[in-house]
Structure 1
Amino acid sequence: MTEQRRVIRASLNEVELLFCKSKCYLHPTKSKADNIAGFLTLGRGPNDSNNDVRVSFVTESQLNKNETKVYEEADLAELTKDLENLELGSGSSSRQSTRIYIVKKLGSTSLTGSSFSVPISYIYSIHLRTPLVGWWYGSITLHMKDGSKSPTVFFHDDESLSSIKKQQIRNKQFDPFGEDGELVWGGSEFIQSLSKVADVQKSTYEPNVLLINPDPNDLRNFAPVKQSQSNNNDSGKVFVFPDLNKMIANTKWKLLETVATFTTKAKNQVLDAVEERAPPQVKQLINKPEVQKIGNDFDSARVYLAKWASQVKDEAEQAQKKYMLDDEIYAKINRELGISTERSEILTGQEISETSRRNPITKVEWESFFDHSGRLILTTDEVKYRIFHGGLEPEIRHIAWLFLLGVFPWDSSREERTVLKESYKTAYDELKAKWSTDEEKRQSDHWKDQRQRIAKDLHRTDRSLPIFASQREEPRAVSEEQAADVEEDEEMVLDNANLRKMQEILFTYNEYNPNLGYVQGMTDLLSPLYANIKEETLVFWAFAKFMERMERNFVRDQSGMKKQMSDLNKLLQFMLPKLFIHLEHCESTDLFFFFRSLLVWFKREFDWDDVQRLWEIFWTDYYTSQFHLFFALSVLSDNERIIRENLDRFDEVLKYMNDLSMSMELNPLMIRAELLFLRFKRMLDIIDRTNSDRNTATAHPDTHISVSPELRTLLSKKLVIQKELPPTSPSDYN
């Protein structure tokens, strides 16, 4: 959240007017003579957070002449800006500094009198009634969390000088409508100002109801798809994922018969990584062009193939009967879930309602999560639920990511975070000094090797983004031989200040985690952190926290990646048995096409914006710390039909899966992944209940349904931490 707040010149019994509207009325009776005129305002006290901002209605009769003048000037303040912008031209800034209007704070929070004042944190929703020109005035009613409501406030825009003048300005601009295409009136202006300090969500269930700082339950209750309480036959409507696979098949899509080949200059480094004793099937596997392509992207992919491909394949074949349920159990599970065995992709409306994607969290909504001291007022689970289902707007990632990654504790105050930030800077400076001031260390072969590896990878990391683009002038024309020499010489020189700063962060991480050192792929993990957080110290600690969960991907013996690939294999057998059997026919059960995706969390499979959204969702650990495996499973599930109906060989499957890169839609896959996890969890519940019932009926062990212990660990939110061991010889660094 914002760590610095605007300072206003107000005492504790005063507020700054953030919004003011004149000629607002209460209509206590049907008689116009009884109407009560006043001002509707938004006011912030000197120490108030956004949640403490007060919505007030003050009658004209209770104000003296000087007080009335302040309210009237505040009402016309926005009009003055509009007039100046109209005079100066669109997009011009006001010639005068914004004036601050200070008024006396209303002490009463009673909703029964002619005046009222309530903090935003008390308000649950606002009911809008838009005006009908020439017939009635628009109005708003505030509904509180305790069930009470405010008097209805009517906007007499035909009497309000600011409304009249603003309408004249809009008419001159030939645009009497707001951004939403609706006619602008006093109530819409109030909601627009309120949206600057509160998260205002329009209910899709009742469009005239606006939810104020809604929590996850509010969003679910007002979702467009609700479970019907009716017992009629049409109440059991279900949602079916759009079958994109069938659409492609219907257009007679045909897989290319051959795969791309490489030029004679391509590096054939895969074979170099294979030991002489490698099994024949492994050597055959790594000669595939698409495998070579992945191997050239990441050195660790070649090592993984050389050491584990055959073993993973053998383990998968041996485990088939162990991790695949028989048809009877699948039938029972589908019956209990209310799903047809022939159409297991069918989902209920309630499931879709609860897993639908939301709008990203805005700066205003994020700030509403905290009190005036900067301390969280929601539960951590509530915030994570919101992030999981909507993600974050880019403008708040620089602070929200620090919470998600554990750099800042969720229960910390703003002051505590300031102190913590200083301690982080001191620790970082000490680590950085270990290499920046040690000339002997920087002359060592190991340090030079690390520098070359880091520079080489940074040269090709997200260079299409402005923040990492080359800042060097175009080179003059040179021969091919000269170009090769220049490339070799300049490999160590980074032509972008931000890349050089990232290089320093990675050098410092070597001091922080000397056992691991730099491994290819870390630049992919660092660049989004740097681009959003930017401050070097905080970027480093965010990266260090991120690497705590990702280090197992980079350990030298590849055991961390092997474990995840094995778990995904078991999950595939358990959840999508027909697809697994087909992949077995295609000799693709090692799932090597997911190696790159799991290594750097789909960084090469989605565009920049989607990758950031995906990572912040994974960081919540809302369901499980292994949700990336269910996301991978959702990709397989989404493409199951095409794979089973069109692909028959290993190279076909690998090419098809590789070609999905940059063509997948994030939100539908996230919904599918969440539903797959919920289905997985319920399947385990049903199996456990079945085992319990059978244990009661008979003690015979053959009746027990076995589930892999590794699959059960996928329900845990606890991070899986695997640290690299100290190297036993210099060659271990390579």
Structure 2
Amino acid sequence: MSSARPQARQRVLATNEVELLYAKSKTYLHPTSAKKDNIPGFLSLTRGSNGTNLDILLSFTPESQLSSEEKKVYETVDVEDISLDLDAININSKSNINNTKIVASRIVPKPSVSLLSGYSFSAPLSYVYSIQVRKPSLGFWFGSIVINTKDGEKLPIVFFHDDESPSSQSSKRLSNKKFDPFDENGNMYWSGKEFINVLEKFVNVEKSTVTSSVYLINPDSGDLRNFAPITIEDKKNNSGDKKIEPIVLPDIGKLFASAKWKVLETVATISAKTKNQMINLLEENAPLTVKQIMNKPEVQRIGDDFDSARVYLAKWAQQVKEEAEESQRKNMLHDEIYSKINRELGSTEILTNEEISQSSRRKPINKQEWESFFDYSGRLKLTADEVKSRIFHGGLEDDVRKEAWLFLLGVFDWNTSTEDREQFKKSYETAYEELKLKWVTDEDKRATEFWKDQKHRIEKDVNRTDRNLAIFKNPHKKNPNANSEGNSNSRESSPETPDEDELDDESDISNIRNPHLYKLREILLTYNEFNEDLGYVQGMTDLLSPLYVTFQDESLTFWAFVKFMKRMERNFVRDQSGMKIQMNTLNKLLQFMLPNLFKHLEKCESIDLFFFFRMLLVWFKRELDWDHVLRLWEILWTDYYSSQFHLFFALSVLSDNERIIVQNLRKFDEVLKYMNDLSMKLNVDPLLIRSELLFLKFKRMIDIIDRDNSMKTIDAEVYESDVNANTGKNDKIIEISPELRGLLSKEIVIQKEVPRPEGVGGG
């Protein structure tokens, strides 16, 4: 709607001037209980030149301190923004960097920087810790906000007299016109909530999970923990002898879930029965709701394609487990979930409550929070590790990925400015075009059998890559049989034959009609030129596709892919040594962390973990839905704990299914089928929590072993060899393999392909 505004005169801000981003009229301070002492004024948000969103000033300015011209500007902005449904608000954090021209009608003198100057106050958003919103209620007619600063000072309470404010009255009429007078919580309109909505356009605002009226401004992890529900286990009340129990909502599905588990555990012990006998027994003993689940076609199909009753039971157990966990997620407090996983991992004596709490998952980083990490020049104000920690524990919203991924992948350095990155981008474009021209203009190269084979492999895989996504669907082709009235004549092909625009391009793989798929092909052919030793190997399209969908820029996608392949190249080397090393490391990690499961898989002849090959090869790209793939990858790219954290994610999948595997599966093919069928059923956030706790436990175990080994070495040096016989101690040094120690490193493991022998084709 703001685009409909007439072209306004623009100019550069002077030193003592600011851009008025938002103003609310008829807000009051109530210094005394007497109505006559109320002080009317404007609550405003303003930004100076070279200012980021965190430099925006939150101010209250009494009407008496404004000139008639200034008051007119405030009133105009107030009503104008509301009439445009807040679309006119300028949310671009970089709009006045380097004194970019802004609309002259929104320029006002800078509010007083003093926190208390007369009855005015002003504070930058970076200085605001939280805002408490107190909505209107009976006996307390005017809603208000309480602003708390980071040094603990409370600014004067601001009251909203909506019955006097022209903009508030306009907003009410606008809501009524839309037949939507209520907010998402069923409350009537009042401008205090509107103010919070405006703040969310500039900074990250998160509602406290303890007190719904408190909003945290750009909170860090510590702030969120301080305002999270308290699960008290060891603290006592004032009498000193009684524990304070946490508030837990009732678990609605508890009886149902436990009843199903009881039936499952009973039946799972009867391993000699046939599948049909198992099903009959379940049908006789299961509750009615369980029978309804079992009668679903998709559940019945579980056992149809495999003759093992144990796999049938394991699949059913998995479904029961998912339902029970979903119920727990709805009714348990976050810290309880982390503690529950911690108990399952047997880490209760190893990890502290603080470590468990710090593994919490947070909301993804939105655009406002991301921009708050940078100053006016586009340089980081935080350390790269702080940003990576935030990404690791929350991920990114979709509109942040296009910029953030370039940092995570190393295309841009964390220490660059906006201007630096623009220069790098131009250099990348030039370098890509030069590289691409090497094969485009070399007819001799394109005539070789190797190049033709690589091109064929690339085109074949590109045509099959993520074709379910709208961006990779073929452009709609008009039916040539359609008449002028738009009705189509009878078709020659049978009804089972798809129309031409629905074909998979398999018949002519060189004819790539989708422009985005065509760019994928160009990128992969150019990478073939960039890394001649490796060339193209099946599976690379799985790694490239999410990058292209995110950037939708051929040059940037190529260099992001180059950086990604730097760490992933070992997965695609010809002798598969890179994958063998990772599978072997995962095997040792499983033996070290989950010894009971390892022993059971050993009995099942499954310790080769073959079912993880595809998962590790393309980082779970085919096991997770699209959004979860993006979330997992950006978390793995942080290398926050380890550059091989994907192995701990794989371990978490095994840990999460340990009970079902041990109780129900006995053979290699049963384990293989069960694990393969987990595809698209993995719940990423709980697995990430489990992964982090597994890593923390792993690191603590290594530390304990190293400490004990060190003590044993000292003892041996002091008491010599006869001490063992006298003390009865077991002083054997516990060896930790280099592969396991390597998991503690954040350095990316790089394995390059060797030069291609003459006559060897593509992979």
| Structure 1 residues 560-571: aligned runs within 5 Å | 560-571=578-589
Q: CA offsets per residue over residues 404-449 of structure 1, 9 Å max, x none?
A: 1011111111001011111111111110110111111111111100
| Structure 1 residues 486-565: aligned runs within 5 Å | 489-565=507-583
Specify the alignment match of 2:68 in structure 1: 65
The alpha-carbon distance between structure 1 residues 8 and 398, as it changes in their structure 2 partners (threshold 3 A), is farther
Specify the alignment match of 2:626 in structure 1: 608
The alpha-carbon distance between structure 1 residues 695 and 179, as it changes in their structure 2 partners (threshold 3 A), is same
Specify the alignment match of 2:96 in structure 1: none
Query: Which of 420, 426, 449 matches 1:422?
Result: 426
The alpha-carbon distance between structure 1 residues 720 and 114, as it changes in their structure 2 partners (threshold 3 A), is same
Task: Report the Cα offset of residue 576 of structure 1.
Answer: 0.5
Q: CA offsets per residue over residues 166-218 of structure 1, 9 Å max, x none?
A: 22443454432223433322211111111100001111133322111112222
Task: Report the Cα offset of residue 733 of structure 1.
Answer: 3.7
CA distance in 2, matches of 1:385, 1:357: 11
Specify the alignment match of 1:162 in structure 2: 167
Query: Is 1:717 matched up with 2:720?
Result: no
CA distance in 1, matches of 2:396, 2:262: 38
Specify the alignment match of 1:219 in structure 2: 224
Query: Is 1:75 matched up with 2:88?
Result: no
Name which of structure 1's ranges 216-225 and 117-126 shifts more when overlaid on structure 2: 216-225
The alpha-carbon distance between structure 1 residues 428 and 593, as it changes in their structure 2 partners (threshold 3 A), is same
Task: Report the Cα offset of residue 477 of structure 1.
Answer: 6.2
Q: CA offsets per residue over residues 284-312 of structure 1, 9 Å max, x none?
A: xxxxx99xxxxxxxxxxxxxxxxxxxxxx
Query: Which of 679, 702, 705 matches 2:734?
Result: 705
Query: Which of 203, 206, 215 matches 1:201?
Result: 206
The alpha-carbon distance between structure 1 residues 721 and 227, as it changes in their structure 2 partners (threshold 3 A), is farther
- Equivalent residue letter for 1:581: K
Specify the alignment match of 1:636 in structure 2: 654
Please give the secondary structure, in 1, of the residue aligned with 2:592.
helix
CA distance in 2, matches of 1:623, 1:574: 18
Task: Report the Cα offset of residue 558 of structure 1.
Answer: 0.6
The alpha-carbon distance between structure 1 residues 524 and 76, as it changes in their structure 2 partners (threshold 3 A), is same
Q: CA offsets per residue over residues 346-388 of structure 1, 9 Å max, x none?
A: 6976555322211111111111111111111112122111111
Please give the secondary structure, in 1, of the residue aligned with 2:588.
helix
| Structure 1 residues 93-104: aligned runs within 5 Å | 101-104=106-109
Native 8 Å contact 2:231 2:245 kept in 1: no
| Structure 1 residues 130-529: aligned runs within 5 Å | 130-225=135-230, 230-231=235-236, 234=243, 250=262, 252=264, 344=346, 350-471=354-475, 473=477, 489-529=507-547
- Equivalent residue letter for 1:197: F
Query: Is 1:594 matched up with 2:612?
Result: yes
CA distance in 1, matches of 2:662, 2:464: 36
- Equivalent residue letter for 1:147: G
Specify the alignment match of 2:317 in structure 1: none
The alpha-carbon distance between structure 1 residues 83 and 631, as it changes in their structure 2 partners (threshold 3 A), is closer
Task: Report the Cα offset of residue 580 of structure 1.
Answer: 0.4
Task: Report the Cα offset of residue 643 of structure 1.
Answer: 0.7
Name which of structure 1's ranges 160-169 and 76-85 shifts more when overlaid on structure 2: 76-85
CA distance in 1, matches of 2:170, 2:558: 53
CA distance in 1, matches of 2:47, 2:11: 9
Q: CA offsets per residue over residues 584-639 of structure 1, 9 Å max, x none?
A: 01110000000000000000000111101110111111111111000000000011
Task: Report the Cα offset of residue 706 of structure 1.
Answer: 2.2
Higher relative contact order (CA 8 A, sep 6+): 1
CA distance in 2, matches of 1:690, 1:235: 38
Q: CA offsets per residue over residues 705-734 of structure 1, 9 Å max, x none?
A: 222221111111111111111112222644
Task: Report the Cα offset of residue 451 of structure 1.
Answer: 0.4
Give the TM-score of the pair, scaled to structure 2. Answer: 0.78
CA distance in 1, matches of 2:619, 2:699: 23
The alpha-carbon distance between structure 1 residues 229 and 376, as it changes in their structure 2 partners (threshold 3 A), is farther
Query: Is 1:661 matched up with 2:661?
Result: no
The alpha-carbon distance between structure 1 residues 224 and 99, as it changes in their structure 2 partners (threshold 3 A), is farther
Native 8 Å contact 2:230 2:246 kept in 1: no
The alpha-carbon distance between structure 1 residues 710 and 587, as it changes in their structure 2 partners (threshold 3 A), is same
Identity of aligned residues (%): 57
Q: What is the total number of aligned residue pairs between the two structures?
A: 640
Task: Report the Cα offset of residue 491 of structure 1.
Answer: 2.4
Please give the secondary structure, in 1, of the residue aligned with 2:743.
helix
Task: Report the Cα offset of residue 478 of structure 1.
Answer: 6.5
Specify the alignment match of 1:315 in structure 2: none
Query: 5+ unaligned residues in a row in structure 1: which ranges?
Result: 1-5, 86-96, 259-288, 291-336
Query: 5+ unaligned residues in a row in structure 2: which ranges?
Result: 1-8, 89-101, 276-304, 307-338, 480-490, 722-729
Task: Report the Cα offset of residue 489 of structure 1.
Answer: 4.9
Name which of structure 1's ranges 222-231 and 584-593 shifts more when overlaid on structure 2: 222-231
Give the TM-score of the pair, scaled to structure 1. Answer: 0.80
Native 8 Å contact 2:408 2:637 kept in 1: yes
- Equivalent residue letter for 2:346: S
- Equivalent residue letter for 1:694: K
- Equivalent residue letter for 1:718: E
Query: Which of 691, 694, 711 matches 2:712?
Result: 694
Query: Which of 756, 759, 763 matches 1:727?
Result: 756
CA distance in 2, matches of 1:196, 1:688: 50
CA distance in 1, matches of 2:192, 2:259: 46
